[in-house]
Amino acid sequence: MAVTNTDPDLVFHALKKIEIIVKGDKKQFVSDLLERAGATGYTLIKDIAGKGEHGFHEGRLLFNDTASLVMFVAVASDETIREVASGLKPLFEKNSGVMFISDAQVVRLEHFMRKEPAAG
């Protein structure tokens, strides 16, 4: 069933979404990378569990934060996501981790527009 948009203010803007799963000790590298590439924000999910090349990975360990996995979710322009992916590619050649890139739509586009890249 086709949906007609009756609200002229409710426009879906096409952007890209990247989901990145890395070990806890790469958290800072990824957050720096997102910032430098111009992503205006991200969601961070800590202590995630799952199964991959190295078998099942436990979620939270009581006394050890560094061995856990974290997931970043960021939505930004194609260009910014490409930039992020280009920084992750060499990382994944040496470290475990995954990234998924998909199409996403947002309503408030201005919240996802690239700022001037942070200096440094």
Partner 1 sequence: MSNETRISAQIENAAAHLTPYWPLQTFIAANPLQGLEHLSFEEAVELGADLFRGRGYPTAEMARTAMAEGRIDRAVLTEVAGRHGRPELVERLTQGRAEAAAIGEAGEASRVNFLTIKWLAAFLDEGQAAWPMPGREKGFWRAFKTLARHDPSIPQRRRLAPLPERPLAALVALMRDVPEEEREAWLTAHLVALSGWSSYVKWRAGQSAHPWQRVAPITLADYLAVRIALAWLLDEPTPALAAQGTAVPEGAVWLEAWEESYRRRLLDELQRESVAGSSCPQAPSAHLVFCIDVRSEVFRRHLERIGPYDTLGFAGFFGIPIAYRPFGESEPIASCPVLLTPAHTVPDAPACGHETAGEAHLHGRRHIAGGKTLVQQLKESVATPFAFVEAAGGVFGLAMAGRTLQPSRFGRLLARLRDAVSPQASLVPQIELLPAGEDPEAATGFSEAERIFYAEAALSIMGLTRGFAPLVVLTGHGGATVNNPFASGLDCGACGGNHGGPNARIMAAILNDPQVRAGLVARGIEIPEATLFLAAEHNTTTDAVEIFDAQAGKAQHPEAFARLLRDLAKAQAAASAERCRRLTQADGDSVAAVAERAADWAQVRPEWALAKNAAFIVGHRDLTRRLDLEGRSFLHSYDWQADAEGKALEVILTAPMVVAEWINTQYYFSTVDPVAYGAGSKITHNVVGTFGVMQGNASDLMTGLPLQSVMAADEVPYHEPLRLMTVVQAPVARVEEIVRRNTILQTLFGNGWVALTVLDPETGSLVRRSRSGTWLPALEEGAAASPAGDPSGVAAHGPLEAV
Binding site for partner 1 (CB under 8 A): 26, 28-29, 32-33, 36-37, 54-58, 61-67, 82-84, 86-91, 93-95, 117, 119-120
Phi, psi of 110, deg, nearest 5? -60, -25
**Tokens 């690239």 belong to which residue?**
114
The structure tokens listed for 116 are: 């001037």
4-30 CB burial, b ≥16 within 10 A, e <16:
eeeeeeeeeeebbbbebbbebebbeeb
Nearer to partner 1, 86 or 102 (CB): 86
CB of 86: closest distance to partner 1 in angstroms?
Answer: 5
Q: Among residues 41 and 50, whose Cβ is nearest to partner 1?
A: 50
SS3 14: strand
Taking the complex as a whole, the smallest distance from the CB of residue 4 to partner 1 amounts, in Å, to: 41
Shortest spacing between CB 74 and partner 1, in angstroms: 14
Query: What's the closest the beta carbon of residue 15 comes to partner 1, in angstroms?
Result: 19
